[in-house]
């Protein structure tokens, strides 16, 4: 608002981060999401100090112990134990590490490669652009989970391969977004003037245009962060992600499946952890969108 | 319009070629020898290996193999399963009705609940119902459906004993497979209780599969409605003194439906991905479970053929949605 009355005495525009925070704060859900997310990250980072036990140590004397508040529970194992007598709480805490790690790595791989390809497509001659976009169409024709599943089956089931597969599946979204943003920016006066001033292609791509395309990409990053966590858990659940005894949440659910009617806690807690994490990230994503890209604002 | 039609059809060709190439390449080019994998722990003698290579044609140049595969695909020949020795095409069509039945029920559930919910949320914007609904939509959208399925099984099959845990119908009933749709076949069989059993088996999987589409439809309907409700012609309609129900229902909803229908159409991929998890958990004999089982059995022709068929299905539906969209919305044709 103050921008319309620009004069020498107007104080400097608040820092970008400050401004961003001001808009982000308006969305209460997003702030709650941020706090929950931060808390989970802290738990994951300090898992080895907080967790009462080693997540893989088995205690044969205490298998399938219910949570402490239930009859037969023991406060030594607050959330109970799994069929092999491992402490649920410790496994969940260490599992958070895997989920956040996976989300982070997948987003970094998918976004950097996607942004790069999208920039190239946006600046490339028509024929190259067409080829790139057709390839992305092809990847998007496969349901993501199915494509990831087949990729992992071929590469061999492991957490690393699951991450690679999911990054490949998520990357076309970045390509499309970046290309679309580049297309609209490219025709604007500031880009043309930079070109006239003699800016070379790499400078045009990365310094002139890219920063102005980032808003929708950041929102997409939040979305794919939660998608990555869900997909890795789904792959783990199908036996194609992290392998036992890794305390990954999806893998924990797969191991617990046969006990669902006897021990609700081995099934309930890992899934709840996935749900809360994904929900927190999606809430944050909504807030990010409102703050960064007012045009996309939902209501 | 015809030009738009043709240009959309033309882009279909390279995408189809690419999808075929990818499903082919996955199995032949990436590391991992299908014959070694098939032999498993037992291993295979060099003579037998060469014999098998010849039998499956793996010894020929890749480009020749791909050409054979591609021409086969065009004639409806997707090879045969390593395990059952039946043509992949036949297996797909025996199992597809199960997936179609489940997906149809799920999408009906999602539309019937999601559409009115979105409309009510939009017309009662900011009220308690709106906030409750949008929060639950976000939860549904964030839901790991494989866990959701297990929870529903614990409550409704375990604690309450209302619904069965797996399968499509009780083993008690046996009747010929006429349409492949259990709901129709059980009615045709005339056996008492068969239809009820089929319905009971369908409830939980449908709810699970409908969860994410429901959340997406509700959110999309709400935002599309909100956008339309702020248009001038809505104000005019209100100013004329039309009943709110008529304004919302007739003037607004009809225009808000365009993006919503698109989203529903584009949900096929989500449904098929969801079917993989849902069918695996409920032992539902459809193509999702078929694909997962084949992946674990390393039944490569099935994985290859299934991948291709699923992708083509998604492509065809997307194409139809695109064409319909062009038909409804003239602005899009000019691109």
Model pTM?
0.86
**Which H or E run contains B194?**
helix B194-229
Identify the three-state secondary structure at position A81: strand
Give, rounded to a whole angstrom, the gap between the first and last alpha carbons of chain B. 12
CA–CA dist B169, B186 (Å, integer) = 9
CA distance A137 to chain B (A): 7
CA atoms within 13 A on the CB side of B173: 24
B7-22 pLDDT tens trace: 878 888 888 888 898 8
The conformation of residue A87, written as its DSSP 8-state character, comes to B
Q: Look at B150 and A134 and tell me if their CB atoms are within 8 Å.
A: no
Tens digit of pLDDT for each residue in A143-201? 888 888 888 888 888 888 889 989 999 999 999 999 988 988 888 899 889 988 988 88
Find the CB nearest A141 among B30, B291, B314.
B314
B29 occurs within a structural domain: no
DSSP state of A142: S
Q: Is residue B193 less than 8 Å (CB to CB) from chain A?
A: no
Q: What's the number of domains chain B is made of?
A: 1
Residue position matching structure tokens 């970046």: A178
CA–CA dist A157, A149 (Å, integer)? 9
* 335 residues of chain B, pLDDT tens digit each: 778 778 878 888 888 888 898 888 877 765 556 677 666 666 677 787 787 777 777 777 778 888 888 888 888 888 888 778 889 898 998 899 999 999 999 999 999 999 999 989 988 888 898 999 989 999 999 999 999 999 998 888 888 888 888 888 777 777 777 777 878 887 777 777 788 888 888 999 999 999 999 999 999 899 888 888 888 888 888 888 888 777 777 778 877 888 888 888 878 878 888 899 999 999 999 999 999 998 888 788 888 889 999 999 888 888 888 887 777 766 666 54
CB B140 within 8 A of CB B214: yes
Task: Check pLDDT > 50 for residue A98.
Answer: yes
CATH, residue B256: 1.10.3720.10
Of A34-38, A62-66, A159-163, A291-295, which gets the smallest average pLDDT?
A: A291-295
Left if phi > 0, otherwise alpha if psi is -120 to 50, otherwise beta: which for A77?
beta
CA-CA distance, A24 to A29, in Å (whole number)? Answer: 10
Average per-residue pLDDT in chain A? Answer: 85
**Predicted confidence band of residue A12 (pLDDT cuts 50, 70, 90):** low
Residue A109 has which token pair? 């791989």
Is B301 part of any domain? no
B49 domain-assigned:
no
C-alpha triplet B168, B264, B197: angle, nearest 5°: 15
Structure tokens at A200: 């070379």
Q: What is chain A's percent helix, strand, coil content, to nearest 5?
A: 75, 0, 25
- Confidence at A114, pLDDT banded by 50, 70, 90: very high
User: Is residue B27, in this structure, part of any structural domain at all?
Assistant: no
Let me know if residue B280 belongs to a domain. yes
The domain segmentation of chain A, as residue ranges, is 16-296
Nearest to A141 among B19, B26, B139 (CB): B19
Task: Kindly identify which residue of chain A lies nearest to residue B29, measuring between CA atoms.
Answer: A154
What pLDDT, on the 0 to 100 scale, is given for residue A11?
Answer: 61
Rounded average pLDDT over A84-96: 87
C-alpha–C-alpha distance, residues A206 and A195, integer Å = 13
Please report residues of A whose CB lies closer than 8 A to that of B310: 142-143, 146
pLDDT value of residue A299: 41
* Chain A closest-CA separation from residue B187 CA (Å): 32
| Per-residue pLDDT, B194 | 80
CB B202 within 8 A of CB B208: no
Calpha distance A145→A86 (Å, rounded): 30
Is A232:B143 a contact under the CB 8 Å cutoff? no
Name which of A143, A147, A275 is nearest B142 (Cβ-Cβ).
Answer: A275
Q: List C-alpha distances in Å: A80 to A39, A159, A233, B20.
A: 22, 26, 21, 49
Question: Using CA atoms, how far apart are residues B246 and B238, in angstroms rounded to an integer?
Answer: 9
Residue B276 lies in a domain: yes
- Closest by Cβ to A150, choosing from B11, B31, B303: B303
CB spacing of B291 vs A260 below 8 angstroms: no
Alpha-helical (H) ranges within B29-159 are 34-39, 46-56, 62-74, 88-123, 128-141, 145-152
Q: What is the mean pLDDT of residues A105-110?
A: 94
Look at residues A163, A154, A155 and name the one whose alpha carbon lies nearest to residue B295. Answer: A154
Residue B209: what pLDDT? 94
What ipTM does this complex have?
A: 0.85
Residue A1 pLDDT grade (very low, low, confident, very high; cuts 50, 70, 90): very low
The pLDDT of residue A172 is 93
**Domain that residue B265 falls in:** 88-296
**A297 φ, ψ to 5°?**
-50, 130
Query: Chain B window 131-150: which residues touch A at a Cβ cutoff of 8 Å?
Result: 135, 138-139, 141-144, 146-148, 150
Peptide bond into A91 cis (omega under 30): no
Tally Cβ neighbours within 10 Å of residue A144. 22
The CA-based diameter of chain B, rounded to the nearest angstrom, is 87
Inter-chain residue contact B150 with A143, CB threshold 8 Å: no
CATH superfamily of A16-296: MetI-like (1.10.3720.10)
Identify the CA nearest to B280 among candidates A246, A229, A239, A170. A239
**A chain contacts of residue B303, beta-carbon cutoff 8 Å:** 150, 153
The H or E element spanning position B304 is helix B300-328
Identify all chain B residues contacting A150, using CB atoms and an 8 Å cutoff: 26, 295, 303, 307
- Are residues B147 and A270, on separate chains, in Cβ contact within 8 Å? yes
In a domain, B287, yes or no: yes
% chain A with pLDDT above 70: 93
Three-state DSSP at B136 gives helix
A162 to chain B, minimum CA–CA distance in Å?
15
Question: Residues A216-261: pLDDT tens digits?
Answer: 888 889 889 999 999 999 999 998 888 888 888 999 998 888 888 8
- Whether A5 shows a pLDDT value over 50: the answer reads no
- Let me know if residue B62 belongs to a domain: no
């Amino acid at each position: 608002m103050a921008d319309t009355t620009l004069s020498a005495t107007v104080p400097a525009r608040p820092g970008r981060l400050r401004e961003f925070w001001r808009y982000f704060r308006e969305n209460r859900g997003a702030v709650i999401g941020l706090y929950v997310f931060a808390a989970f990250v802290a738990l994951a980072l300090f898992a080895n100090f907080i967790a009462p036990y080693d997540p893989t140590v088995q205690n044969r004397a205490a298998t399938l112990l219910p949570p402490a508040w239930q009859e037969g529970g023991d406060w030594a194992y607050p959330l109970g134990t799994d069929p092999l007598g491992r402490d649920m709480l410790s496994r969940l805490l260490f599992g958070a590490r895997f989920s956040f790690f996976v989300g982070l790595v997948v987003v970094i791989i998918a976004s950097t490669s996607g942004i790069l390809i999208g920039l190239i497509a946006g600046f490339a001659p028509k024929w190259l652009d067409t080829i790139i976009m057709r390839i992305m169409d092809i990847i998007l024709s496969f349901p993501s989970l199915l494509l990831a599943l087949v990729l992992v089956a071929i590469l061999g089931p492991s957490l690393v391969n699951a991450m690679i597969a999911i990054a490949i599946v998520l990357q076309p979204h970045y390509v499309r977004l970046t290309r679309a943003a580049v297309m609209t920016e490219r025709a604007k006066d500031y880009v043309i003037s930079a070109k006239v001033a003699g800016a070379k292609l790499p400078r045009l791509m990365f310094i002139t245009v890219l920063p102005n395309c980032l808003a929708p990409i950041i929102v997409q990053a939040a979305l794919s962060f939660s998608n990555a966590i869900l997909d890795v858990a789904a792959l783990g659940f199908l036996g194609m992600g992290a392998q036992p005894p890794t305390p990954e949440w999806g893998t924990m659910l797969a191991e617990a499946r046969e006990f669902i009617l006897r021990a609700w806690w081995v099934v309930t807690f890992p899934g709840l952890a996935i749900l809360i994490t994904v929900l927190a990230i999606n809430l944050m994503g909504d807030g990010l969108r409102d703050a960064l890209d007012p045009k996309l604002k939902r209501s | 319009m015809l030009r738009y039609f043709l240009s959309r059809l033309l882009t279909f060709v390279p995408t189809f070629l690419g999808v075929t190439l990818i499903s082919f390449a996955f199995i032949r080019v990436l590391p991992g020898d299908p014959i070694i994998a098939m032999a498993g722990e037992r291993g295979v003698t060099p003579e037998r290996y060469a014999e098998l290579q010849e039998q499956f044609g793996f010894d020929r140049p890749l480009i020749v193999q791909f050409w054979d595969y591609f021409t086969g695909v065009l004639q409806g020949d997707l090879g045969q399963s390593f395990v059952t020795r039946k043509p992949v095409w036949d297996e797909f069509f025996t199992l597809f009705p199960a997936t179609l039945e489940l997906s149809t029920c799920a999408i009906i559930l999602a539309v019937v609940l999601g559409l009115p919910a979105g409309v009510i949320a939009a017309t009662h914007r900011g009220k308690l119902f709106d906030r409750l609904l949008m929060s639950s939509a976000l939860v549904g959208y964030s839901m790991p459906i494989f866990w959701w399925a297990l929870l529903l099984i614990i409550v409704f099959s375990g604690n309450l004993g209302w619904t069965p845990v797996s399968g499509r119908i009780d083993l008690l009933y046996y009747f010929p497979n006429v349409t492949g749709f259990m709901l129709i076949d059980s009615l045709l069989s005339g056996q008492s209780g068969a239809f009820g059993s089929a319905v009971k088996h369908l409830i939980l999987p449908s709810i699970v599969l409908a969860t994410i589409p429901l959340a997406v439809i509700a959110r999309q309907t709400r935002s599309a409605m909100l956008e339309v409700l702020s248009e001038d012609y809505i104000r005019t309609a209100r100013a004329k003194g039309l009943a709110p129900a008529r304004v919302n229902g007739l003037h607004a909803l009809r225009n808000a439906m365009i993006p919503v229908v698109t989203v529903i159409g584009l949900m096929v991929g989500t449904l098929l991905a969801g079917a993989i998890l849902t069918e695996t958990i409920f032992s539902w004999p459809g193509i999702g479970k078929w694909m997962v089982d084949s992946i674990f059995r390393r039944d490569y022709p099935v994985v290859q053929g299934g991948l291709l068929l699923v992708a083509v299905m998604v492509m065809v539906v997307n194409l139809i949605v695109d064409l319909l969209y062009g038909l409804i919305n003239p602005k899009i044709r000019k691109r």
